[in-house]
Structure 1
Amino acid sequence: MSEAEQAVLVDVNEGIMTITLNRPKAKNAANKAMADGVAAALDELDSNDEILVAIITGSGGTFCAGMDLKAFVSGELPIVEGRGLLGLTERSPRKPIIAAVEGYALAGGLEVAISCDLIVSADNAQYGIPEAKRGLAAAAGGLMKLPQQIPPRLAMELALTGDPIDAARALECGLINRIVPAGEALQAARELAATISANGPLAVAVSKQVIQESADWSQQEMWQKQQELVMPIFSSADAIEGATAFAEKRKPQWTGK
């Protein structure tokens, strides 16, 4: 087994891919092998029509404590060119990805979590960008994405103090979607993924795309841009199947076409 395969465990079951960061002795600190492993899994996610949703989580009761500082000192960075930290922070997959967070989601760990579409959190989770405490900055998206996802003054506090917030505060400010008891984040994420995977895959992918991209659209162009993306959905075979299945009171059989 290669170093990347050891650092990242990948499982696919009933259309749901689970990507597990697997360096528990290092609190799943991100190194280059882990970055390569996650990037390969995300490539498989978007290229395999049988996989509908992905979950990223961590082994050993923690999500990810950030970049491996020992590797950093030796000149190694846990990034993939053009894709960012762990091959995710600069380029999101086309299909939905859910973070299942237990324990620490700090520094790069938080940046990976907020690069996912949804976050399911254990009640023992801690979220923060403590880079300033180490003379660094949250350059893998924390400084740019956090002010878009939570109140800017809270994002500023997290960046300048380096202090974390707990799961309850994260839910209160809209950083995460839901809280479950410690040890249950992955199962709750799988239940959420199953709900998503039961929907039309074309509709899910385009809905994600519009929500992500529309933040940069002007008032003058937003309706036209949305129309260009969603109109092919309305003429798809899946749209006809969805309406027919509703009328016939049965589950739709999606083809992704």
Structure 2
Amino acid sequence: MSDDATGPSDEGVLCRDEGGVRILTLNRQRMRNALDPATARELRRLLRELDDRDDLRVGILAATGDVFCAGMDLKDFSAGGDWSADGGFDGFAELRPRKPLIAAVQGPAVGGGFELLLACDLVVVETGSWFGMPEIARGFAPGGGGMLWLARRLPYAVAMEVLFGAERLPVERAREIGLVNEIVEPGEAIGTALALAERIAGLPPTSLQVVKHFVGASPDWSEQDALAMQKALMKRLLSGPDAAEGVAAFLEKRAPVWSAPAVGDLEEWFPVRTDREGENR
């Protein structure tokens, strides 16, 4: 896909690449950017491509119009849309790319739209926006990652506050509880996210990916295993080319030139297994 590639105006997800940044934009304005199975699967495909391409370092998730995402397309669901197929309903629950992902939010993010934000590493949101997770009131549950990621990110009582009562969660409250990184003026979310992404894209890609994986996975490890993996990770990074380049660039007062990503299979970087992981495999 070329750097200036975009889809047709009726495409569910627009995609363009700017340097090392991939910008994915929800584009179902007539449906308030609600997610149908095809859109969820396309997001998943494009994020896999983000991971697979060495020239891409960071992703941004944005939307057209004045609503970020209204969640599941209930009209599609009531018409018998196949949300059970792989990559459909739970497809966007698994949007956890190895590379950093930033949300640029304008307007409401409701249900699955809120859950999309929880799949991101950083969230920039415009004033006047709000989040909501009304699935319980509709007779089902936040199955696109809401229950899992809120439980991991928030204290228990705060997670229950969001799940049981968050028909409308102001972004100011979302920031207070740690779900939002920055609140900006209307029209500034995508520019702010892009500036942030460009800065992150200048960091060594191998370190970015292994640090993201460690922070996300370590809550499932025992303290002993986490310390052992941290030690092994540091030994490997310090003996790699990027550590030498980073020190040399600092001393020589020049911009570093990082090596190509050397992550490969992340499992190779984190060989220690906890008892819980062994039981689940």
Output the TM-score relative to the length of structure 2.
0.85
Q: Which runs of 4+ in 1 moved over 4 A?
A: 1-5, 77-80, 83-86
Match of residue 235 from structure 1: 239
Percent of residue pairs identical: 39
Higher alpha-carbon deviation: 131-140 or 167-176: 131-140
User: Closer, same or farther in 2 for the Cα pair 1:96/1:85, shift >3 Å?
Assistant: farther
Q: Decide which of 208, 220, 226 is 1:216's aligned counterpart.
A: 220
Q: Decide which of 35, 42, 67 is 1:37's aligned counterpart.
A: 42
CA contact (8 A) 1:102 1:182 kept: yes
Match of residue 93 from structure 2: 89
Amino acid at match of 1:45: L
- Residue by residue over 1:112-147, the C-alpha shift from the partner in whole angstroms, topping out at 9 and shown as x without a partner, is 111111111111211121112222211112122113
Match of residue 156 from structure 1: 160
CA distance in 1, matches of 2:239, 2:96: 26
Amino acid at match of 1:167: V
Match of residue 132 from structure 1: 136
Residue ranges of structure 2 left out of the alignment (5+ in a row): 1-5, 263-281
Q: Decide which of 48, 53, 57 is 2:53's aligned counterpart.
A: 48
CA distance in 2, matches of 1:143, 1:238: 38
CA distance in 1, matches of 2:101, 2:84: 18
What is the alpha-carbon root mean square deviation over aligned residues? 2.2
1:200 partnered with 2:207? no
Match of residue 63 from structure 1: 68
Match of residue 145 from structure 1: 149
1:231 deviation in Å?
2.9
Amino acid at match of 2:13: V
1:75 deviation in Å?
2.4
Higher alpha-carbon deviation: 3-12 or 246-255: 3-12
1:90 deviation in Å?
2.2
CA distance in 1, matches of 2:186, 2:91: 27
Aligned partner of residue 93 in structure 2, secondary structure = coil
Amino acid at match of 2:114: L
1:252 partnered with 2:256? yes
The count of residues paired between Structure 1 and Structure 2 equals 256
1:186 partnered with 2:160? no
Amino acid at match of 2:54: D
CA distance in 2, matches of 1:136, 1:24: 25
Match of residue 72 from structure 1: 77
Higher alpha-carbon deviation: 224-233 or 240-249: 224-233
CA distance in 1, matches of 2:244, 2:10: 41
CA distance in 2, matches of 1:149, 1:178: 17
Amino acid at match of 2:160: M
User: Closer, same or farther in 2 for the Cα pair 1:78/1:6, shift >3 Å?
Assistant: farther
1:78 deviation in Å?
5.2
Higher alpha-carbon deviation: 53-62 or 141-150: 141-150
Aligned partner of residue 211 in structure 1, secondary structure = helix
Aligned partner of residue 221 in structure 1, secondary structure = helix
CA contact (8 A) 2:10 2:28 kept: no
Match of residue 31 from structure 2: 26
CA distance in 2, matches of 1:4, 1:215: 42
Amino acid at match of 1:150: L
CA distance in 1, matches of 2:243, 2:88: 35
CA contact (8 A) 2:20 2:201 kept: yes
